[in-house]
Amino acid sequence: MAAGAVEERHMPDVSIVWETPSTPITPEDFIHHDGVRFVRPYFFEFIAHVKERWDKKTVTNLFAEEFRQRPLDYYCEAVNAGRILVNGKRVRSDYVVRASQTLSHFVHRHEPPVMGEPVRILELSADVVTIWKPPSVPVHPCGQYRKNTVLGILEAEHSLKPLYPIHRLDRLVSGLLILARNADTADQFRKEMEGGKVAKSYIAKVKGVFPDEEMELSASIVYDAREGRSTVERSENSATGNSHQHTKLLGKGKSACTKFKRLSTDGMYSIVECTPLTGRTHQELALVLNEQQDWKGFCRKVQAWMTLIPSEEEWMMLGYAH
């Protein structure tokens, strides 16, 4: 099928239009209601190629282990009904897949809604677009999200495609986001970031009075690509007793270290500068801003500030990447 083409699959007395990953995203795909952005449900064909680590697994176990949004019973029924195909052909539920085969999964897709704030273009050039990302919107397709993403919205509303994220923000986080408009520019930015020529800082608003002293936090971070968010693995206190507090995290996540400095406080909220020192470019905010983390093991002083309160105005005035 040609790129961007939509295939019609004919059944008795009905014609269903199946979208694929190459199907263009349009403004008509979205519905706005009461400050929320919805995606019209649509028929979709997921396409994946069998990886080496999937080799010799049964087709149903593979789907249940790798795509855990649905139970094993669903995948058994989908295989038997022909909604899951291998190389375009129906197979038994105990069929063993081999590397390089093509898997197809036909679904009626319902994407989760996101906040209806617009993805605002702040600057547009031939090589780079800088935008303000609203909270709740993932940057790129992941998990249940395909159209309700920064890339999907920019394609639909501004005809900007392809775009290459230079750095990322977690789904729940708002802020400035820089996207390259070609692969060469993206590679150039990545090399400059890896070489220390480009640094990145976050400005966060958190509940409570953040400690006045500057501190560093080292943690083990797990990034969930399906959900577009980062979480901190379980921790135990290892405060040093001086002006820098550290937390030792246990587990197998990716190591990350971030420096925190209070810029201001009104007694109820604090504005904090967060500077990544090590770690992956899109994981550091989980150290301080993930509202699901238990900070009792970090430092008794900071038990009060756990919730991120994103504000577009504050990001515009205080947030920056330099």
CATH number of the domain to which 166 belongs: 3.30.2350.10
- The pLDDT assigned to 245 comes to 38
| Domain shared by 144 and 163, yes or no | yes
- What whole-number distance in Å separates Cα of residue 122 and Cα of residue 101? 43
Give the pLDDT confidence score for residue 198 in this predicted structure: 80
User: What pLDDT, on a 0 to 100 scale, did the predictor assign at position 195?
Assistant: 82
pTM equals: 0.69
Active site residue 212: no
Residue finishing a domain among 165, 194, 223: 194
Contacts of 256 (CB under 8 A, 6+ apart): 218, 219, 220, 221, 276, 278, 279, 280, 283, 284, 287
Number of alpha helices (DSSP H) and beta strands (DSSP E) in the chain = 6, 19
Q: Are 13 and 96 members of one domain?
A: yes
Q: Is the dihedral of CA 296, 297, 302, 308 positive or negative?
A: negative
Q: Are 299 and 206 part of one and the same domain?
A: yes
Instruction: Let me know if residue 1 belongs to a domain.
Output: no
pLDDT for the residue numbered 305: 34
Residue with tokens 């966060």: 204
Same-domain status, 217 and 159: no
User: What's the structural domain count of the chain?
Assistant: 3
pLDDT at residue number 150: 98
Q: Going residue by residue through the chain, which has 322 residues, state the pLDDT in tens, using 9 for 90 and above.
A: 444 444 444 444 545 678 988 899 999 999 999 999 999 999 999 999 999 999 999 999 999 999 888 999 999 999 999 999 999 999 999 999 999 999 999 999 999 999 999 999 999 999 999 999 999 999 999 888 999 999 999 999 999 999 999 988 888 888 889 999 999 999 999 888 888 788 778 888 888 898 899 988 777 766 665 555 666 664 444 333 333 333 433 445 677 788 899 999 999 989 999 888 876 544 444 444 443 333 333 333 333 333 333 344 443 444 333 3
Rg (the chain; Cα; Å): 22
Which CATH number do you get for residue 84? 3.10.290.10
Task: Say which of 55, 94, 127, 170 is annotated catalytic.
Answer: 170
Give the H or E element holding residue 219: strand 215-224
* DSSP assigned state of 152: H
Query: Which of 194, 219, 234 lies at the terminal end of a domain, its last residue?
Result: 194
- Asked whether 145 and 228 are in contact (CB, 8 A), the reply is yes
Domain containing 64: what range? 7-109
Q: Are residues 168 and 234 in the same domain?
A: no
Last-in-domain residue among 109, 139, 171: 109
